[in-house]
Structure 1
Amino acid sequence: MAREKLAQAKADAAKRGQLPRREPRRRAAGPRREGGDPQLFGRAIRDLLSDRGWERPAAVGGVFGRWADIVGPELAAHTKPEGFEDGEVLIAADSTAWATQVRLLARTLVRRLNEELGEGTVTRVKVKGPQHGPRPKGLRVTGSRGPGDTYG
């Protein structure tokens, strides 16, 4: 009796065109996304960055994160990027000597950063030397500045 019912159900399904498949279903070529369907994480992040207009700041942050790979380990040991605004990259150096070195390499740095970020993204490199506060004033402070460059 169960076999008769199974045969009857198969015959009814065949009439409606809903027979079970014997071979596995093949996926359609290329990604297909309908509303609410999951998507790849990388694609979702790219879409989010594009929708919010965050592509350039994210790219600049990526370059800042790979600073040592871009400028080399020796220069990266003495400098670090601190900001990017209106095409200008602000770089802090740990001594006046390294600040001067970065100023001499500014044109090369602009070219290298534009290779990473896209032509015309960086127009200028601004270098900031070591930041020490104002000299203290008081009874026991001498009036002379002392020897020349004592920052390194």
Structure 2
Amino acid sequence: MTDEKPTVQPEGLSGYDLARAALEEARALARAQGKPVGMGRSAPIRSRRRTSDRSRRRWSGAGPDPRDPQPLGSMVGRVAKQHGWESRISEGALFGMWPSIVGDDIASHADPTRLEGTVLHVRAESTAWATQLRYMQGQIIAKIAKVIGHGMVTSLRITGPQAPSWRKGPRHISGRGPRDTYG
């Protein structure tokens, strides 16, 4: 039981005006009790009158700010873009993620060997797999574009296994060689 008298709210005031009046009343009561008023708020950062220190003059606010901590992935992406490493990183990702891009079945029978421009060279373990991969070329390029990015690979050059060489020694005579006596 306090001996304070209840305040009468005047009719016709909006909610904002009522809240403002209640705040002023609470401040007056706090001053009467000897408590500090308004000390919980932080003041804006003071200007130093230097043009190079402009970013410190503003409040951070609720939105993203350049001073906020940044995700590592976006920072690495910016550094790669600044130094021109994007194509090499994409190429490494293509070779490293090959089984997850094309699937384990295809990856167990075919490997990418090199990337020249936008042409990916793929070596198949047999001629049958090379033929099958040629039929699936459009689907493989679409999968690569979905994971790595469009335009990184525009075509595939699929080769089968290497045939044994009949070439022995440092000197060579053009022509069919020892196979011309077969038939």
TM-score strictly above 0.5? yes
**Percent identity for Structure 1 against Structure 2:** 32
Instruction: Give CA deviations for 1:74-97 in whole Å, capped at 9, x if unaligned.
Output: 110011112222211111111111
Matched AA of 2:162: Q
1:40 positional shift: 4.8
1:113 corresponds to which of 135, 141, 144? 144
* Cα distance in structure 1, aligned partners of 2:164 and 2:179: 16
Q: Which residue of 2 aligns with 1:82?
A: 113
2:127 corresponds to which of 88, 96, 103? 96
Q: Which residue of 1 aligns with 2:49?
A: none
1:73 positional shift: 0.9
Q: Which residue of 2 aligns with 1:72?
A: 103
1:41 positional shift: 3.3
Number of positions where the alignment pairs a residue of Structure 1 with one of Structure 2: 118
Task: Using CA pairs under 8 Å that are at least 6 residues apart, name the structure with larger relative contact order, 1 or 2.
Answer: 1
1:51 corresponds to which of 82, 95, 108? 82
Contact preservation (8 Å) 2:93, 2:148? no
The TM-score with structure 2 as length reference comes to 0.52
* Cα distance in structure 2, aligned partners of 1:132 and 1:54: 37
The TM-score with structure 1 as length reference comes to 0.61
Matched AA of 1:92: R
- State which structure, 1 or 2, has the greater radius of gyration over its C-alpha atoms: 2
- RMSD across aligned positions (CA): 3.4
SS at match of 2:113: strand
* Cα distance in structure 2, aligned partners of 1:56 and 1:136: 38
